[in-house]
Amino acid sequence: MSQHLRGSVVVVTGGGRGIGLACAERVARAGADVALLDLLPEVESVAAALPTPSPAVGVAADVTDPASVAAALDEVSARLGRPTALVHAAGTALVGDALTTSVEDFERVLRVNLTGTFVTAQAFARLCVAAGQPGDVVAIASMSARVVNVPQRQSAYNASKAGVEALVRSLAVEWADLGVRVNGVSPGYVATEQTLGVLEGDPATADAWRSRIPLGDVAQPDDVAGVVEFLLSPASRYVLGQCLLVDGGYTAL
């Protein structure tokens, strides 16, 4: 198995489960040391099970709180060395009619998905600049940044992920001359804890999702993680400011 990430220290937010955990497992197999940042209480035990060269680190952190993120990155630096890459997979979703969604709920989704991306990327980039070393950022956006996928109603989620894609492009241009390379991945429907309730408990909605996917089924978390690994690898060195769609062709229709 290729060890092209050996010597890297990769921080994964939202790494306790779902896409984040799949990304952590993928980069660990590629030789990286890994730190998981998550609010889940089991984040340390999840990290301990990763097949990393050095024992992986699990740290409780709130991605919307700059002080929490900075403290978590300081702990990672003390235990593993300076992070060389960031995968920001922390996120939340909200399904509900826009006429009845409260402003507080709308802002909570934006705070986690969009502000959280900025907070973690900024803290990571500051470490890179202070060390005079390059770094890579991969943010998890969504195909919902580009299409209004149905039948669910999720205006807050769609808006937040559109913001993530715009933020990726902006940071990529602004930080290119600092050596901090920023890209994103925009998945379609993925079989994670957030979607399994629908996939297993709401056949009509699940069938509606699948009927619009040319490949015929939802992605597995590792399908997304493979693209994240590519964006962290030397093979993608000339890719900048892109959010690569991993949607089974949903947005091609």
- Residues noted as catalytic: 157
> How many Å apart are CA 125 and CA 158, to the nearest integer?
26
Spell out the residues 6+ positions from residue 126 whose beta carbon is closer than 8 angstroms to its own: none
Nearest to 9 by CA among 88, 80, 90: 80
Q: Phi/psi at 196 (nearest 5 deg)? A: -65, -30
Kindly tell me the sign of the dihedral angle through the C-alpha atoms of 101, 105, 107, 110.
negative
Kindly tell me the sign of the dihedral angle through the C-alpha atoms of 71, 72, 75, 80.
negative
CB neighbours of residue 211 within 10 Å: 8
> How many Å apart are CA 113 and CA 118, to the nearest integer?
9
Burial class (CB in 10 A: 0-12, 13-18, 19+), 212: middle
Residue 78 · residue 100 · CB < 8 Å: no
> How many Å apart are CA 162 and CA 93, to the nearest integer?
14
